[in-house]
C-alpha cells in the first residue's frame, strides 16, 4: 500500500512497516488494523512523524506507533522509540508537554447496586473536593519551596509521609512512584511557581476522574490477582504534572533546539530537538523530566486520597469496609532508562513513550511481587461515553515494542472540529440518558472531549490483544465523570 508517497508493507494483519528511506536509521512500524489505518490516513502527518522519529541518532530496531496514533509535537501521540546510551539522544518531543500524564486505577468493595442511589451526590462531592480546570489550584495548602523540593525528588513518597494514602500505594505505582535521579536544581523558578499550588488538581483537557463499574471480565485468573470482579465499583484518575511539567518541557525545548545545532544533528523536524543522553543538556533534561514525573505521581496520589474521603463521606462507611485500594498507576508520557534485549544482547536504552503505556510481562523485576505471576496491569481509558479497559503485559511486548502498549482511544476529531460537531447539542443530557453523570468547569471542555471526538477504544485494545502485545482483562463502564 502506498499513500501520499509513504510505502506501507503489511507484516501481519495488525502490523505495518514503513521501509527505511531518505536518512531513516530504522524502519517505522505501526500496530493498527487495515480499517483503522484507512481512517488514520486522513491524518497523514502522524505517519510522517513515525518516519521522522526514525532519523534520531542512536535509535534502536524501529520507530514504533500504537493503534491510537495521531499527530503530536515532534513524535506522534502513540509513539515509542528506544535510543542507546552511547550515541543515542533524548528528545522532549518523545515525552510531550504533559510529563508523566498517566492513569491510576483504584478498586473498592462497593457494587453498582450500592452506589447507584447516591451517585449524583458522590460526583458532586468529588467535583467540589478536587480542583479541575485550567490553572486549578488549592486542593491542599500552597507548598513551601522545601516541600516542593521533596515532592520533585521523592514523588509519591511525599504524599504518603503527609497522610495522603499508605505504603501499599507505593508498591502498586510504576517505579514505586519515584524516579530517583530527579534533580530539583535543574528546574526553573517559573516551573516551581506554577507547581506550588497545583498538587492534587486535575487540570483540563482530557484529564478526568471517573467512577466506573466493571462490566465484563475476560480473564478470571488475572482479574482475581488484580482484585477485580464483575459489578465492582472502581475509580480512574487521569492527569499529569500540570503547569510544572509543561514549563519544564517548554524550558528545555529551547535548550535542546540549540543543542541539536551544537551537536550537528540533521533532523527532518525541529520539533525533534534533542541532545546526546550523556551530554550536559541531555542529563539536565532527563533530571528535570524525572522531577516533573515525580510531581505527577504525587499529584495522582493526593487526588486518590481526596477521592477516598469523598467515598467515605458519601456512603458513611469505614475504611476497612470501603476497601479503597490502588490496583496500579501507569505513566504514558515519559522517557526512562531500561534494559531490553536487542539483537540477542541485553542493552540499556532510553525508551521514549509518548502516548504509550509500559506493558511488562510476568516475572519482570519491575512489577509488584503480587503481579509477577500474571504481568503488569495496563490501563487504557476510553472516552467518557463508552468504556475503558484493563489489560496485562506480555513477553511479546518485550520482544517487539520495548514493553509498550497503547494508552487510550486516540483522538478522531481535533478539539476545534469537536466544538463544531457539538454545536446545538446538549451533551450533558445525552450522557445522562446513558446513565453517566458529568460535572465540569465549563461546557467547552465537555464538547472538546465528547465521545465522537475519539476513536472507539475497543478497536485500539483489540489490535494489541490480537497481536499478543497486551491481553484484555476487564472492561469498565463509566457511571460518573468530573473534568476541567
Residues marked as catalytic:
407
Could you tell me which residues come within 8 angstroms of residue 321 by beta carbon, excluding any fewer than 6 positions away? 109
The upper half-sphere exposure of residue 301, i.e. CA atoms within 13 Å in the direction of its Cβ, equals 31
Picking from 336, 356, 338, the residue whose alpha carbon sits closest to that of residue 348 is 338
Amino acid at each position: 500500500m502506498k499513500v501520499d508517497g509513504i510505502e506501507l508493507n503489511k507484516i501481519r494483519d495488525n502490523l505495518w512497516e514503513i521501509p527505511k528511506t531518505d536518512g531513516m536509521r530504522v524502519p517505522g512500524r505501526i500496530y493498527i488494523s487495515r480499517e483503522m489505518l484507512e481512517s488514520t490516513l486522513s491524518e497523514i502527518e502522524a505517519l510522517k512523524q513515525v518516519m521522522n522519529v526514525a532519523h534520531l541518532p542512536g535509535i534502536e530496531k524501529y520507530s514504533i506507533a500504537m493503534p491510537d496514533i495521531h499527530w503530536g509535537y515532534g513524535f506522534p501521540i502513540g509513539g515509542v522509540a528506544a535510543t542507546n546510551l552511547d550515541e543515542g539522544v533524548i528528545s522532549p518531543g518523545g515525552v510531550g508537554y504533559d510529563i508523566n500524564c498517566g492513569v491510576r486505577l483504584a478498586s473498592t468493595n462497593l457494587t453498582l447496586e450500592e452506589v447507584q442511589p447516591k451517585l449524583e451526590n458522590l460526583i458532586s462531592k468529588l467535583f467540589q473536593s478536587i480542583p479541575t480546570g485550567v490553572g486549578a489550584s488549592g486542593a491542599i495548602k500552597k507548598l513551601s519551596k522545601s516541600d516542593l523540593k521533596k515532592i520533585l525528588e521523592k514523588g509519591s513518597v511525599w504524599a504518603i509521609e503527609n497522610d495522603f494514602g499508605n505504603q501499599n500505594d507505593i508498591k502498586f505505582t510504576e517505579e514505586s512512584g519515584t524516579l530517583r535521579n530527579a534533580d530539583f536544581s535543574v528546574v526553573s523558578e517559573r516551573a516551581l511557581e506554577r507547581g506550588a499550588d497545583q498538587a492534587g488538581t486535575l487540570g483540563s483537557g482530557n484529564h478526568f476522574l471517573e467512577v466506573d463499574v466493571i462490566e465484563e471480565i475476560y480473564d478470571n485468573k488475572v482479574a482475581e490477582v488484580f482484585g477485580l470482579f464483575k459489578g465492582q465499583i472502581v475509580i480512574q484518575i487521569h492527569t499529569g504534572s500540570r503547569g510544572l511539567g509543561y514549563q519544564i518541557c517548554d524550558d528545555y525545548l529551547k535548550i535542546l533546539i540549540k543543542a541539536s545545532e551544537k551537536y550537528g544533528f540533521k533532523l527532518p523536524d525541529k520539533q525533534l530537538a534533542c541532545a546526546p543522553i550523556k551530554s550536559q543538556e541531555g542529563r539536565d533534561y532527563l533530571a528535570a523530566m524525572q522531577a516533573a514525573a515525580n510531581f505527577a505521581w504525587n499529584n495522582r496520589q493526593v487526588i486518590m486520597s481526596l477521592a477516598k474521603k469523598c467515598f467515605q463521606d458519601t456512603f458513611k462507611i469505614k475504611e476497612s469496609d470501603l476497601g479503597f485500594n490502588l490496583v496500579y498507576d501507569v505513566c504514558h508520557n515519559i522517557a526512562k532508562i531500561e534494559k531490553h534485549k536487542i539483537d540477542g544482547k541485553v542493552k540499556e536504552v532510553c525508551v521514549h513513550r509518548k502516548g504509550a503505556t509500559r506493558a511488562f510481562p510476568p516475572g519482570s523485576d519491575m512489577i509488584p511481587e503480587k503481579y509477577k505471576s500474571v504481568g503488569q496491569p495496563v490501563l487504557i481509558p476510553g472516552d467518557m461515553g463508552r468504556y475503558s479497559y484493563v489489560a496485562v503485559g506480555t513477553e511479546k511486548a518485550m520482544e517487539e515494542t520495548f514493553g509498550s502498549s497503547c494508552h487510550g482511544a486516540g483522538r478522531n476529531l481535533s478539539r476545534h472540529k469537536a466544538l463544531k460537531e457539538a454545536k446545538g447539542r446538549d451533551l450533558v443530557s445525552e450522557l445522562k440518558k446513558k446513565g453517566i453523570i458529568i460535572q465540569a468547569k465549563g461546557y467547552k471542555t465537555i464538547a472538546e472531549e465528547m465521545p465522537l471526538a475519539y476513536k472507539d477504544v475497543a478497536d485500539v485494545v483489540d489490535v494489541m490483544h490480537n497481536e499478543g502485545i497486551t491481553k484484555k482483562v476487564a472492561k469498565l463502564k463509566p457511571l460518573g465523570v468530573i473534568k476541567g
